[in-house]
Structure 1
Amino acid sequence: MTIRAPRRAVLLGALAAPLATPFLANPAKAQTVTLRSSDVHPDGYPTVEAVKWMSKQMEEKSGGRVRIQVYGNHTLGEEKDTLEQTRFGVIDLNRVNSASLNSLVPETVIPGLPFLFRSEDHMHRVLDGAIGDDIVSGLARHNLVPLCYYDSGARSFYTRTRAINEPGDLRGLKIRVQPSDMWVAMMRAFGANATPLPTGEVYSAIQTGVVDGAENNYPSYQSFRHFEVAKFYSASEHSMAPEVLVMAKRSYDKLPKDLQDMMRQAAKDSVPEMRRMWQERSNAAKAAVIAAGSQINTVNKAPFEQGMGPVYDQFVRDARMKGIVAKIRETA
């Protein structure tokens, strides 16, 4: 796509730019360190605004020693590219969907499993505690420090040509998915032809018929303007795969201990802010797409859920992962 070149140019500029200003030995005389944070979503999106909120907290509580500059709207590239650069410490922080981490840490498949969480409240109780910490603990081996989970809502199907009411309606349709083996397997189990694509390519792919539709939450459906080319939104709510805010271990290790603790606390404190903004944005996005002519239908989830056994069998294979899934289901 034509948008690739400028984004790559910006990313190359980021590669060439110096890393965050190093701290001086005496914190009182330290210069301000600006950390760069990446997000594919545009300004105003809850994840983008949550990290901006974090930046204000860090500036205020560190006495101006740390600030976070947020680059949204794919400015530094797609998640696959920016995640790699975060691992090398070129990008300091990154908000990514948990699916982007699946190839690094198998346990991160778990939060995206179909129909695993009973509700958003159930998901919050799981991810805010020890189970959530356990799922992302393996990221340290890949030079990433997990800071917090953000909501990504319930993901549902949207298509160009017809509403989805039952699994049979997906048969033969090409549905864009995140680049993840688990998501490909999930769509196949639904009967669809999975087509992995970066987020920035989805609009034109639907518009030109490369794919018949995609799946995502209301805010993404609205903010990426996919409602303009896919008018049928079918609320299957098949996954609640969360977002994860990660920090480059290289950048994290440069911070003095007090600022490391401050960063973790600021991230934790940003979660309720993000969730508040998320709920407001989700309601507003749903209203906006309906006003623009999108047709919303609610599906009976049971027939969709019944066919997901093979997905669990394929991706929840070892005792550790089975144990985590069992703990999630046992969580009240």
Structure 2
Amino acid sequence: MRCQRCAAMFMVCAIVAMSLVIGVGSPLYAATYNWKLASVLPDSHPVHQALVAFAEKVNEKTNGEVVITVYPAGQLGQEKDYIEGAQLGSIEITKVSSAPLGQFSKTLQVVSLPFIWRNLEHQHLVLDGPIGERLMADLEASGFKGLAFFDAGSRNVTTSVRPIRTPDDMKGLKIRVMQSEPLIETINALGATAVPMGQSEVYVALQQKVIDGWENNEPTVLSFNMQEVAKYFSYTGHVSIPDILIMSKQIFDSASPEVQAAILEAAQETIPLQRQIWADYVGEATAQLKEKGMEFNEVDDITAFQALAAPIHKQFEPIVGADLIQAIMDAGK
């Protein structure tokens, strides 16, 4: 009888020990791959929802073999840190703007050129087609595996000083931009002074009047509460730079063919989801910003801004290729 009690006690202890190791509701086997997905956007941002969906899709398609943990709100640094981390393999996956990534893959700078997109449909047509495939392929030489382009709206000047109605209103203003040569040149061409700066520094810089404004889209303004320090939102629409989901090429190449296929499939399935989330949220974000006191205005004549920025296309021909610029401009005509 005593032996039976000992055996029963042993079984109970073994079950408890196993539950502590595995965890309630956890799969019996540990994941083969545990990867990080880094983003500077807070978890309240609509793009974050798409990143979570992507991670879940990969986990499902690999039957739990891949676990991706999303780190939002700049927990692992700024976008430059993520890009460099992906090159080194210390960060497996990241969502960044195509603008700073263009400093590492020159042809990608073409998507940051001013007024290169006629509308959102034109941008989708290009990025979903052969040109988008070429831009993704070009990333591989720099150590990245391109997974998906995401909508990020048009970027518009937001200031604490005055609304922007004409290029003259830009004069004398210091405007924060991402670290992107096309974006820097664009803001300078429009009459302001571009100030490259990490996202985490912008709020305080506006608050302390180190800068007079920045440029971004409505959801991002709301997510970072920028209406508190820059109340004027002017629809300059000078650039429309897509976000991009990338992976460290060395990490991607080290995965099994089955896992690689699952990642690419999950990324493609996430694209329409992200676009819908984005489209649904822009109007809601604008309404909330208005309720919080932000003032919106159209510019008087967008062609005046376009004329000032036009020479930048020529300036970047030696960098991205005149043929690539022309192919984008001609697409869908």
TM-score (norm 1): 0.89
Hey, what does 2:51 align to over in structure 1?
51
Conserved in 2, the CA contact under 8 Å of 1:105 and 1:136? Answer: no
Alignment partners' CA distance in 2, 1:167 and 1:109: 24
The 8 Å contact of residues 112 and 239 in structure 2, kept in 1 or not, is answered as yes
Alignment of 1:88-127 (within 5 A): 88-127=88-127
1:1-332 alignment, distance < 5 Å: 31-299=31-299, 300-317=301-318, 321-332=321-332
Mapped to 2, the partners of 1:304 and 1:67 lie a distance apart of 46
Structure 1 unaligned residues grouped into runs of 5+: 1-28
Report the residue type matching 1:291 in the other structure.
E
Contact kept, 8 Å, 1:107 with 1:136, in 2: the verdict is no
Q: CA deviation at 1:68?
A: 1.2
Q: How many residue pairs align between the two structures?
A: 304
* CA positional deviation for 1:164: 0.1
Q: Matched residues in 1 for 2:307 and 2:135: separation?
A: 25
1:188-232 deviations in whole A, cap 9, x for unaligned?
Answer: 100001111001100011111100000000011110111110000
Residues 225-251 of structure 1: CA distance to partner in whole angstroms, max 9, x if unpaired?
Answer: 111100000011111110111001121
Q: 1:254 to 1:304 in 2, by over 3 A?
A: same
- SS at structure 2 position matched to 1:165: coil
Structure 2 distance, partners of 1:287, 1:266, is 32
- Contact map agreement 2:175 2:213 (CA 8 A) in 1: yes
Separation in 1, partners of 2:47, 2:62: 22
Secondary structure at the residue paired with 2:318?
coil
The one-letter code of the counterpart of 1:310 is P
- Runs of 4+ in structure 1 deviating by more than 4 angstroms, as ranges, are none
Matched with 1:7 is none
Is the deviation greater in 273-282 or in 162-171? 273-282
8 Å contact kept, 1:35–1:93: yes
Query: In percent, how many aligned pairs have the same letter?
Result: 33
Measure, in 1, the Cα distance between the counterparts of 2:143 and 2:168.
43
Q: For 1:121 and 1:44, how far apart are their aligned partners in 2? A: 26
Deviation at 1:31, TM superposition (A): 3.5
1:73-92: CA deviations, max 9, x gaps? 00000001121111111110
Distance (Å, rounded) in 1 between the aligned partners of 2:130 and 2:232: 38
For 2:231 and 2:30, the matched residues in 1 are separated by 53
Cα distance in 2 for residues equivalent to 1:262 and 1:44: 27
RMSD value over aligned CA atoms?
1.5
For 1:170 and 1:231, locate their aligned partners in 2 and report how far apart those are by CA, in whole Å: 16
Note the C-alpha offset of 1:69: 0.7
CA distance in 2, matches of 1:324, 1:313: 12
The residue type paired with residue 229 of structure 1 is V
Deviation digits for residues 280-304 of structure 1 (CA, Å, limit 9, x no counterpart): 2211111111111111001121100
Residues in 2 aligned to 1:316 and 1:294: alpha-carbon distance in whole angstroms: 38
**Structure 1 letter corresponding to 2:246:** V
Q: Given residue 328 of structure 2, which amino acid in structure 1 is its aligned partner?
A: I
The separation in 1 between residues aligned to 2:136 and 2:208, in whole angstroms, is 37
Question: Greater Rg, structure 1 or structure 2?
Answer: 2
Please give the secondary structure, in 2, of the residue aligned with 1:312. helix
SS of the residue 1:209 aligns to:
coil
CA distance in 1, matches of 2:157, 2:103: 24
Contact 1:39–1:95 (CA<8 Å) still a contact in 2? yes
Aligned in 2, Cα 1:81/1:246: closer, same or farther, shift over 3 Å?
Answer: same
Deviation at 1:57, TM superposition (A): 1.2
Q: CA shift at 1:30, angstroms?
A: 7.5
Q: Which amino acid aligns with 1:86?
A: A
TM-score (norm 2): 0.88
Q: Distance in 2 between matches of 1:316 and 1:223?
A: 35
The one-letter code matched in structure 1 to 2:255 is L
1:108 and 1:256 map into 2 onto residues whose CA distance is 28
One-letter amino acid matched to 2:307:
Q
